[in-house]
Amino acid sequence: MRVCETVIASIGKDRLQNNPKAKALQPFVLLALLTACSSTVVVPPPAPVQARPVFVLEHGQHASLVIPGKTQGIVRYSYGDWNYYALGDKSISSGLRALQGPTLAGLGRRELKADATPQGVRSAVRVPVAAIHTVLAEASAIEALREKLEDIYRANQASLIYNADIDLEFVHHPVPYSSQHNSNRVVADWLQALGCEVRGPTFVPNWKFLSSNGTVACGTPMEKNAA
């Protein structure tokens, strides 16, 4: 309930009632209140034969995925609305368009020279991270997901931009962004492609990772790194 109370307090009843633009957010606020009290539960694959680690990073309102590089290093991937996330337009009108969607989406990507370990990810990622979750997945599944994302990245090079604030390169993503197909939903889809079971809503970030035997596998809190 604490999450719900925090959301209600941060919105403010007067702002919703008196601001025409804020009124348009009311359906999404209600949906957020309903889903904020539920968790997105992730159960890793039970017994990968060739296990390799992947990392889910929580960034407050969205998430990203870090996987081992093809030969070395790690690669961070993310997904979001093109104007609001990729171009960094945080205006109210941009946020409303993203919520009301569908809108043009972007695939974020960044190669990092670091080991595929929590410590390596911690040292290489240059944006604020609230927590990092390690999941062991089958090496072949990781390779297949990486190739799928790399195909999108290569096919959309004409749209390539770099956002220094979040340290990601972006290209257009073929699937439009919407409140029901946001960064958390897409990260959940990527985890399912790696053999994870994902349960619960993904409208707002509220991740809970279980071990294969059903016990809670807590993420590692991370200090916010300066961009």
With b for 16 or more beta-carbon neighbours within 10 A and e for fewer, the 206-226 pattern comes to bbbbbeeeeeebebeebeeee
**HEC readout, the chain:** CHHHHHHHHHHCHHHHHHCHHHHCCHHHHHHHHHHHCCCEEEECCCCCCCEEEEEEEECCCCEEEEEECCCCCEEEEEEEEHHHHHCCCCCHHHHHHHHHCCEEEEEEEEEECCCCCHHHHHHHCCCCCCEEEEEEEEHHHHHHHHHHHHHHHHHCHHHCEEECCCCEEEEEEEEEEECCECHHHHHHHHHHHCCCEEECCCCCCCEEEECCCCCECCCEECCCCCC
How high is the pLDDT of residue 35? 47
pLDDT at 45: 93
* Token output for 43: 């159960």
Q: What is d(CA 213, CA 193) in angstroms, rounded to the nearest whole number?
A: 20
Q: Residue-wise pLDDT tens for the chain (227 aa)?
A: 333 333 334 444 444 455 554 454 444 444 444 444 568 899 999 889 999 999 999 988 889 999 999 999 999 999 999 999 999 998 988 888 887 889 999 999 999 999 999 999 999 999 999 999 999 999 999 999 999 999 999 999 999 999 999 999 999 999 999 988 999 999 999 999 999 999 988 777 688 998 754 444 444 444 333 32
pLDDT of residue 19: 54
Neighbours of 50 (CB within 10 A): 10
Q: Are strands 207-209 and 40-43 parallel, antiparallel or unpaired?
A: parallel
Handedness of CA 102, 203, 143, 85 (dihedral sign): positive
The interaxial angle of helices 183-193 and 139-155, nearest 10 deg, is: 130
